[in-house]
Structure 1
Amino acid sequence: MFRIAKGDFQKPVVFSRVALTNFCIENSLIEQEYDLPPELSFSDRTLESQGRTNWLKKRDSNWLLLRSIITPDLIEQYLFGNGISQQILDEVSTGGWANKSAYYRALNRYIALGMTKNALLPIRLKNSGTHSPKYKTVQEITVKRGRKSKFSLDQTRGICEADKTKILAIANKFKAANKKFSIQAAFKLFDATYQRTEMQRDLGDGGIQKITLPFARSECLSYHQFYYHFRKLIDAETLAKIQHGHLKYAKDIAARTGSARDGIVGATHRYEVDATVLDLYVAYPYKAGLTVGRPVLYLVVDVYSSMIVGMYLGFSGPDWSGVAQALANACIDKVEFARRYGLDISESDWPAHHIPREITIDNGREYKDCVISSALKSLLGISAVNLAAAYRGDCKGTVERTFGVLNDSLVHHLQGSIFKQQDRTESHPSNDANYTYQQVVGILINEIIFQNKSANRLKKLGFKAAIDGCDICPEAIYLHSLQHNMAGGRPTKVDEQAKVYWAFLPEEEATVTDHGINFGGLEYISDHSLIASMFTTAIKKRFKIPVKRLKDYVNCLWYQAKSGEFIRLDLKRINNDSRYLNLPWEIVEHRLFEETCIEHGAKEKERYHRAERDSKIGALIDKSAVESNFAPTSLSKRRSMQPGIKQRKVAQQQQNRNAEGAMLTRMLTQPANTQQEPSAEDDLYDIDGELF
């Protein structure tokens, strides 16, 4: 048994079992575990990394002085024999420690702490300063600890527990205010709050003047005192939260120990969806040299394999509407989708047309009402929609990283892209927009296929996939997991695409007329018998029906009948042609507004041309009246048809025929290069000459 007196280990006492039992009973001792200092098990490298180099020097010095008396024989003689007093005296005489007590203290320590070399470490030095007096209030402070100031200034006072409470209160103010923080600013607030006094002076006329004065320096804490104790009281994590805010800390600074795949069974178990403004300007298709701005790219990524399973490129948001479009795209076959943009791909090029079990989206208010609907469960069987914390893109890390890959590998290399801070002396990228919407989507589809088939995802390779020799690209991991982990998943059949659209897309209203279905300024038709009956009903009165649309494709709408059947409504086209065909809704809506402006300008143009026409006709009538001495008759009150109209009509026809025959004779008989002066009779019928 070891005894400790004033921090030093005493010589171990040897007890028999009975004697030890009696000793414990007499002194009311209880059994308790004793943990040795952890530094005893640290390696020299670990101690050096902790700045304990001096400890190692002291330990090695003590070891050299003590190692001659810590042999097994001498230790046994020390504990159970006649002692080793003579051996210790010999060590003192040869220039070791100055007295025997130093050897005994080191020997007892060596035995008590496990008889290892690290038992000689000066471990108690780490407690230096921990037993200094702690004053509760300023009045209890008797002496200020620490070094003196090198400046000829009054010394500040010592710190007390009340001061530490005030420092914590200042830190909490910054934490609650969520404003820019620095320790210098915190000290200024501390000084203004706790190290000033306010005096009032009577001005004699009933007024009172308030004067704020700082305490004397001897009654205050200095900035260096405040800084030292602030860093001791506030741990690094709390300080980082105060400096950057809780949201930024959680998003960009806090350690990441988890994984996006936690709790994921396999491919299609969970899809993540997010959006970013693409670093590229898109050309306006209706007029060369113009741009429609930078589009928003929505991506849907399978968390298990990081395969991109869906996309949508729009010009609004990021918002819930684009998210719904991307999710619908993730669940449908990509062959028809790619064909819209002039690409001929096979199902094996982009084999992603499966319905997920779960979806992770941003925690926006609009998502809860518009995306998270009963239709997802009743129509598609999606079990959960996970809402990531607001402004926490890191909670959707799989899809967030994909945006960076697409920008770096493709978008920043296209004409009209933004990839650096724009120099004012250079042409703005919007002036270089060269790719239309259809071209950009086609480029993105090809890039997505490339990324799915070539990206290195070795870290996502499972044990079963490794055994089977699965490739490490996202597509291979996705397909392998579908087969072995998800029993093939839930692929969307061709006749189920309308169901997918209806489950994801927001509901809107269209107006049924007797000649078509009007929606968003365009007209749609269908040869379905139910729609034909609607057209008949709308002859008497127009009415509205619920429809859903793909925002990247104006060619069709979807309507669900009461029977549950989904009916496709197609854009009305003449000769299979339309100036809006295959375009996204955002561009079409802009064009429709532009056409409204064009029509307004055409009306103004028509007013000017009508005025010009009326002026010329009036001049012609006036000229003819003067030449023929024709005066307009007064208005007749006769109710029956004027007599002699037929006879006068026949005479006029004969006169016209004679004039036309004479003109034809002159044209056939005169030489081609001969020009005759017009006759008076010709002038009579030269209306073009009169008008122009």
Structure 2
Amino acid sequence: MDDSASLLNVVVEALSDQLPFEGIARVLWVDESAAVATLITIAHTPRKPWVVSTGDLRIWLQRGDARRSQFRPPAYMLQVEEDIPAGERESRDRNWQRIAGLVDRAVSGEIFMGRSMGAFVAQHAEATGTQRKTLYRLLYRYWAFGQVRNALLPNYENVGAPGKARVFAAGKRPGRPPMHKGRSGERCGKILGDDDKEFIRIGYSLYRNNEVASVTDAYHRTLRRFYVDEHVVPGSSTDDLTLKPLEQLPSLRQFRYWGKKAFDDLAVQRSRMGERRWQKDHRGLTGRASDGVYGPCHRFEIDATIADIYLVSRYNRNWVVGRPVIYVVIDVFSTMIAGIFVALEGPSWNGARHALFNAFTDKVAFCRMYGIEIESSSWPAHHLPHELMADRGEMLGHAAEGIVSGLGIDIAIAPPFRPDWKAIVESRFRLLNSTSQIHWIPGAVRQRIAERGERDYRLDAVLDLAEFTNIMISSVLHYNHHSRRPDRLTADMIREEIEPSPVNLWRWGMENGLATPNTQSSDLVYLHLLPRDTASVQRGGICFKGMFYTCSYAVEQSWFARARKDGRRSVTVWYDPNDTTHVWLQDNERNFVRCDLLASEQRVAQRRLEEVLDMLQMTGTPADESTYAALNDRIRLDAHIGAIVAQAQSDKRATQPASPVPISRQVADIRKHRAFEKTAAQQGPVVTSPVAGSHKASPPAIGPTSSSVAAAYAGERGAEVLSLLGRLRNKGNKT
């Protein structure tokens, strides 16, 4: 049985039509001596409180005719004290002073006893000079909405008639006042009707569908289509088109305003740039490429790029053979470069399978081929992945399908023009260019369009294929050992003080079998006791103290896409200092919405906030030993690259012909030199350590039936013809 105190301020909901009230009501007072309770019905316009027997009230609750319920306060009440504007606080305090004498009586609940409410209100109205209807209105709102002072705040939620069209008086100009007035009087802007708004919607759709270049062009099209005087004479020329009078035309400002109201700005942007560019450059980013990857060898990414440098032949340094193609295989979990291949063939399956073979095998022999001695532990990647992400041009076809059935590797093909599907490997190309200093080596592509009279940078090429491969291998080793990725550290890695280099992340993952947990705590937090702070809405999520969160509400409202379009903005979040797994924010209705950590941020889940902040600060700063090792190795790398380039320049000067070769001839023979270099490369690299001394490669052995000479000097087509004739002759000899 409920006692009287437990019924105070309780909200009761009627479940039977036999009760003397409908909806929900609040218990304001219980008079134990008279065994009655005073209730007030909660409605948009509260009515006078009414009295019921406490025995009847308990019977209703026990019998199921009524039940205890919850009442959500109006949105204007859901504000923290410091967020309430000063003017609204003053209005609340002023309203409270009006009714304080009626609410805070010497005898508790005295105003509800008998029929004394009317007398008390009349006496208080005369004493304070306040109208009785004002006192009743404030009292009913205070009682119905929980008997708290914030119930007396001004309710501005529906002020301004949101969503309703404005009605302008005759002759009144809509919009801002004009800056200047004409001599003949001020012109009134056109008051738009439903037809005008429909014309604007049709005209603005031209801009939305990318059929015109600008909103102004769409405005002109709309005027020409809907706001010209009709021709009196049928068949008149379009040269005679005349617009209606100026006061009958919508302005460009009105056209922009109503056009934006008719179409969502993100929908307009998405439609104008197309789905491909939207998905690649403007969609909201709420995840990372490593999401769902549980450890090393789970997923590899492979891609190829054409290097921004021209190479020369290993057999004649005056032969420019063109730009090489670099194939890179990346482990997504550790971001370690698991395999590399440098070739003269364009991006294709043939080059990609060499890179995959390099990724799947030990690197000691591969590096030794190019004059670099390493231990197997220096480049420990020699494993097969479970998944492989690649481009269509490299992996489509029967040859690539063989690794699915033969090696058990699932292949995912990225759609065309979507490099963001292979974000890890795409970003490594930029790092390799920076580490290897490609753009500062002679023969590098300086710019796309050369100035008139400027020297052709292709003539400065000095590196051959082996020397360039040597530089790339050295750069890969430097990257794998000294590129820091503190964002990839897990809590266990931090506990073991793992230096976040790709090689260390790979080794730790292989030794410990790292997995990504996907469970979240379901305990609720008492939100009003939580501290709050400011977070920023970014394209990658809601960033709070360096941690990223997301929620369904933010995704539905396109927060992250808008942040990518309009820039970051601030948002208030509530958080638990003892657990960083969740934060909370308020939606437009001030309902609390829980935000969860992104899958990539599980390293900071279920930790105290101060621990996370200390960890982020410590991992973000490299140790002195790591800094010294990176600097020391970088100095050696720079010296190594300089030695190779210097030796290559010396070799090129030593082989310069007595009489200078015309520039046009050197550039025109690139394709012939490239074909000869490709033929020589197919017979295997013939190279010694580039820094050990000058090396000269011998031309490949060419037999009487070989088409290598024809391929080098007669062109690729001539080589194919001679090769075909040779096969026919051999077939005739056999028969």
TM-score bucket of the superposed structures, by smaller chain: 0.5 to 0.7
Contact 2:301–2:330 at 8 Å: present in 1 too? yes
Q: Quick check: 1:481 aligned with 2:601?
A: no
Q: Quick check: 1:436 aligned with 2:556?
A: no
**1:427–1:102 Cα change, 3 Å:** farther
What is the CA–CA distance in structure 2 between the aligned matches of 1:301 and 1:88, rounded to whole Å? 83
**1:430–1:92 Cα change, 3 Å:** farther
Give the corresponding residue for 2:683: 555
**1:471–1:147 Cα change, 3 Å:** closer
Q: Quick check: 1:381 aligned with 2:405?
A: no
Give the corresponding residue for 2:713: 595
Shift of 1:302: 0.9
Q: 1:132 aligns with which of 164, 183, 193?
A: 164
Q: Quick check: 1:73 aligned with 2:104?
A: yes
Q: 1:158 aligns with which of 174, 191, 199?
A: 191
Alignment partner of 2:417: what SS?
Answer: coil
User: Which AA in structure 2 matches 1:447?
Assistant: S
What is the CA–CA distance in structure 1 between the aligned matches of 2:273 and 2:398, rounded to whole Å? 33
What is the CA–CA distance in structure 2 between the aligned matches of 1:80 and 1:159, rounded to whole Å? 59
Give the corresponding residue for 1:665: none
Alignment partner of 1:275: what SS?
Answer: strand
What is the CA–CA distance in structure 1 between the aligned matches of 2:480 and 2:54, rounded to whole Å? 73
What is the CA–CA distance in structure 2 between the aligned matches of 1:31 and 1:240, rounded to whole Å? 50
Q: 1:41 aligns with which of 78, 82, 95?
A: 78
How big is each residue's C-alpha offset from its partner over 1:273-294, in whole Å with a ceiling of 9 and x where there is no partner? 2233333333444444664343
What is the CA–CA distance in structure 2 between the aligned matches of 1:596 and 1:196, rounded to whole Å? 70
**1:128–1:259 Cα change, 3 Å:** same
Q: 1:227 aligns with which of 232, 239, 256?
A: 256
Give the corresponding residue for 1:620: none
Shift of 1:256: 0.7
What is the CA–CA distance in structure 1 between the aligned matches of 2:486 and 2:90, rounded to whole Å? 48
How big is each residue's C-alpha offset from its partner over 1:260-305, in whole Å with a ceiling of 9 and x where there is no partner? 2232222111111223333333344444466434333222111111
Q: 2:141 aligns with which of 109, 113, 137?
A: 109
Give the corresponding residue for 1:400: 426
Shift of 1:442: 1.1
Q: Quick check: 1:579 aligned with 2:705?
A: no
What is the CA–CA distance in structure 1 between the aligned matches of 2:227 and 2:89, rounded to whole Å? 47
Alignment partner of 2:382: what SS?
Answer: coil
Which structure carries more relative contact order (alpha carbon 8 Å, separation 6+)?
A: 2
What is the CA–CA distance in structure 1 between the aligned matches of 2:382 and 2:144, rounded to whole Å? 70
User: Which AA in structure 1 matches 2:296?
Assistant: A
Q: Which range moved further: 414-423 or 235-244?
A: 414-423
Q: Which range moved further: 167-176 or 299-308?
A: 167-176
**1:247–1:378 Cα change, 3 Å:** closer
Contact 1:361–1:385 at 8 Å: present in 2 too? yes
What is the CA–CA distance in structure 2 between the aligned matches of 1:314 and 1:30, rounded to whole Å? 78
What is the CA–CA distance in structure 2 between the aligned matches of 1:110 and 1:478, rounded to whole Å? 64
**1:365–1:277 Cα change, 3 Å:** closer
Alignment partner of 1:355: what SS?
Answer: coil
Matched residues, percent identical?
Answer: 25
What is the CA–CA distance in structure 1 between the aligned matches of 2:60 and 2:193, rounded to whole Å? 44
Q: Quick check: 1:259 aligned with 2:298?
A: no
Alignment partner of 2:327: what SS?
Answer: strand
What is the CA–CA distance in structure 1 between the aligned matches of 2:326 and 2:428, rounded to whole Å? 11
Shift of 1:478: 1.5
Shift of 1:449: 1.4
Contact 1:415–1:432 at 8 Å: present in 2 too? no
What is the CA–CA distance in structure 2 between the aligned matches of 1:304 and 1:553, rounded to whole Å? 34
User: Which AA in structure 2 matches 1:328?
Assistant: F
**1:473–1:87 Cα change, 3 Å:** farther
CA RMSD of aligned residues (A): 4.7
Give the corresponding residue for 1:629: none
What is the CA–CA distance in structure 2 between the aligned matches of 1:199 and 1:70, rounded to whole Å? 74
Shift of 1:420: 6.9
Alignment partner of 1:476: what SS?
Answer: helix
Give the corresponding residue for 2:231: 199
Alignment partner of 2:683: what SS?
Answer: strand
Q: Which has the larger radius of gyration?
A: 1
Give the corresponding residue for 1:676: none
What is the CA–CA distance in structure 2 between the aligned matches of 1:233 and 1:116, rounded to whole Å? 42
Contact 1:157–1:218 at 8 Å: present in 2 too? yes
User: Which AA in structure 2 matches 1:193?
Assistant: R
User: Which AA in structure 1 matches 2:104?
Assistant: D
Alignment partner of 1:555: what SS?
Answer: coil
Shift of 1:132: 2.9
Q: Describe how 1:455-534 pairs up with structure 2 within 5 A.
A: 455-485=483-513
Give the corresponding residue for 1:446: 474
Contact 2:207–2:215 at 8 Å: present in 1 too? no
Alignment partner of 2:302: what SS?
Answer: strand
Contact 1:89–1:100 at 8 Å: present in 2 too? no
Aligned residues: 492
Shift of 1:386: 1.1
What is the CA–CA distance in structure 2 between the aligned matches of 1:459 and 1:482, rounded to whole Å? 19
What is the CA–CA distance in structure 1 between the aligned matches of 2:110 and 2:174, rounded to whole Å? 48
Give the corresponding residue for 2:613: none
User: Which AA in structure 1 matches 2:440?
Assistant: L
Contact 1:521–1:592 at 8 Å: present in 2 too? no
Alignment partner of 1:59: what SS?
Answer: helix
User: Which AA in structure 2 matches 1:596?
Assistant: A
Gaps of 5+ in 2: 1-24, 26-39, 516-673, 686-695, 702-706, 719-735
